[in-house]
């Protein structure tokens, strides 16, 4: 078994398993295998923004917030924005990736002239000396990626057109593959972060914390998440053999890929309490969340649990629409700043049908970006209580730039702030009530975090207290 830094990885896995996300069996819903990667470093960016809309002037640093989930329905044809850690690949291999993308546009960038002599010297030396065939296009892409990497910002990244195309189905709610979310820890080993409900991965027995050692017989312990994801992906009906390391022992799984429908919002009602689980901020989030909220109001629920655990982000306008179910028209959701300069604000679009309903938001270490914006806005504006563990802490803004060759550049341009003026980058959102949960509790269906949220709502109901406002 080839596995580097085994002891360190075991320690990291133990940490990761300390605060899983999930649904309590008392609500009649299956647990979500969403164990956060704890203190692990999630891999660099591959966030997705669909390319629609008109170009904007190069001197504008951001796009105005969209008003619709659908880019073709947005005034002026402006493209949607995305924020988040997680990117689900088209084959339903979801990689836990850091990202916060804002808009898309083609820019004619005016830059200082640089001396490219050394680059030319390297190229000429390779051409003259290298014993083998040289692909010039790959050399150019490698040089571009090296230039971006040298910035030293893990959120600024270069994506080829193919890489971008592979990720463009992210957040669509309909995927092909095995339904697994993977992430890269500080030790450089790719592990399972979570599996989707009713997915082939979950049915096969993959668990959060499993280290992916081999895919179809090839060693993956030194590979990136994107490489591992590319090896796992494939057409529905085909199979993939995955070998994982669990508790220092190898386990082998033969999994058949399939078409997976994964709505971003699920909900239920029990004992007068509504439960809304938002797994990502995707195409369907706004509409489904509104449907859930209306049903909860119609049933006259006395409280709502909004579960954002293991939700690593998505489209900013989806987060805007979700928060608007609690916030009044025009109320501030988040502010984007570059230094002391305010680049823009995202405000509630109205609706606020849950404004007077006592609300608790569940968060954990994999709650990030759009999820943190939503949780922070509900905390600051309507007094919603946060229960769980500290969120990830992703408070940066990126922008997608179209390159002339069809590739994409995602570059950090600003920070975002909660309505009360907090930037939670690295620090994360601290819960009002901290509740940890062990892997053993999670596997046994004992969701201590959800139970605490229900307890808080019951106490508020019994006391006649309205938590928001």
* Residues designated catalytic: 369, 394, 398
User: What are the b/e assignments for 335-369, b being 16+ CB within 10 Å?
Assistant: bbbeeeeebbbbbbbebbebbebbbbbbbbbbbbb
3-state DSSP helix/strand/coil % of the chain, to nearest 5: 25, 30, 45
User: What are the b/e assignments for 404-413, b being 16+ CB within 10 Å?
Assistant: eeebbbbbbb
* DSSP string covering 76-142: GGPPP-EEEEEEE-TTSEEEEEEEEEEEEEE----------HHHHHHHHHHHHH-SS---HHHHHHH
Where are the extended beta strands (E) located within 370-442?
Answer: 385-388, 396-402, 408-417, 433-434
Nearest to 342 by CA among 396, 423, 426, 416: 416
Question: Cβ of 112: how many Cβ atoms within 10 Å?
Answer: 4
Q: How far apart are CA 78 and CA 400, in angstroms?
A: 13
What is the DSSP code (8-state) at residue 281?
Answer: B
User: What are the b/e assignments for 23-41, b being 16+ CB within 10 Å?
Assistant: bbeebebebbbbbbbbebe
Do residues 158 and 246 touch, judged by C-beta distance below 8 A? no
Q: Which residues pair with 342 in a beta bridge?
A: 337
**Backbone φ, ψ for residue 393 (5° rounding):** 95, 65
Do residues 21 and 34 touch, judged by C-beta distance below 8 A? yes
Q: How far is CA 41 from the centre of its chain?
A: 14
Cα angle value 295/298/303 (rounded, 5°): 80
Alpha-carbon torsion, ordered 137, 140, 141, 144, to 10 deg: -170
């Amino acid at each position: 078994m080839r596995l580097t830094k085994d002891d360190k990885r075991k320690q990291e896995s133990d940490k990761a398993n300390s605060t899983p996300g999930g649904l309590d069996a008392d609500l009649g819903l299956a647990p979500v295998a969403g164990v956060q990667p704890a203190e692990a470093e999630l891999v660099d960016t591959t966030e997705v923004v669909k390319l629609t809309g008109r170009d904007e002037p190069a001197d504008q640093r951001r796009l105005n917030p969209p008003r619709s989930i659908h880019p073709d329905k947005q005034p002026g044809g402006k493209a949607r924005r995305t924020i988040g850690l997680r990117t689900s690949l088209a084959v339903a291999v979801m990689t836990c990736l850091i990202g916060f993308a804002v808009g898309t546009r083609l820019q004619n960038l005016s830059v200082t002239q640089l001396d490219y002599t050394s680059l030319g010297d390297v190229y000429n030396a390779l051409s003259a000396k290298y014993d083998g065939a040289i692909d010039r296009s790959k050399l150019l892409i490698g040089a571009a990626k090296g230039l971006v990497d040298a910035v030293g910002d893990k959120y600024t990244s270069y994506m080829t057109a193919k890489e971008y195309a592979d990720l463009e189905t992210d957040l669509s709610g309909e995927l092909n593959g095995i339904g697994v979310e993977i992430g890269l820890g500080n030790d450089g080993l790719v592990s399972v972060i979570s599996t989707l409900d009713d997915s082939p991965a979950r049915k096969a027995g993959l668990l959060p914390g499993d280290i992916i050692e081999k895919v179809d017989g090839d060693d993956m312990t030194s590979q990136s998440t994107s490489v591992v994801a590319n090896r796992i992906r494939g057409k529905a009906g085909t199979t993939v053999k995955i070998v994982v390391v669990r508790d220092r022992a190898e386990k082998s799984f033969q999994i058949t890929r399939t078409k997976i429908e994964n709505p971003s919002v699920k909900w239920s009602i029990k004992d007068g309490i509504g439960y809304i689980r938002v797994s990502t901020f995707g195409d369907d989030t706004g509409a489904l969340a509104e449907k859930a909220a209306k049903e909860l109001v119609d049933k006259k629920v006395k409280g709502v649990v909004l579960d954002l655990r293991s939700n690593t982000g998505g489209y900013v306008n989806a987060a805007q629409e979700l928060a608007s179910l609690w916030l009044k028209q025009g109320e501030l959701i988040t502010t984007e700043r570059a230094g002391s300069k305010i680049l823009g604000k995202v405000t509630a679009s109205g609706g606020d049908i849950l404004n007077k309903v006592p609300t608790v938001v569940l968060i954990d270490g994999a709650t990030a970006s759009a999820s943190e914006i939503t949780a922070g806005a509900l905390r600051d504006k309507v007094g919603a209580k946060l229960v769980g563990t500290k969120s990830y802490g992703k408070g940066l803004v990126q922008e997608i730039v179209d390159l002339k060759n069809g590739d994409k550049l995602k570059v950090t341009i600003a920070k975002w702030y909660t309505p009360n003026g907090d930037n939670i980058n690295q620090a994360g959102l601290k819960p009002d009530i901290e509740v940890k949960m062990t892997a053993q509790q999670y596997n046994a269906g004992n969701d201590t975090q959800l139970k605490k949220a229900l307890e808080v709502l019951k106490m508020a109901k019994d006391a006649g207290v309205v938590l928001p406002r």
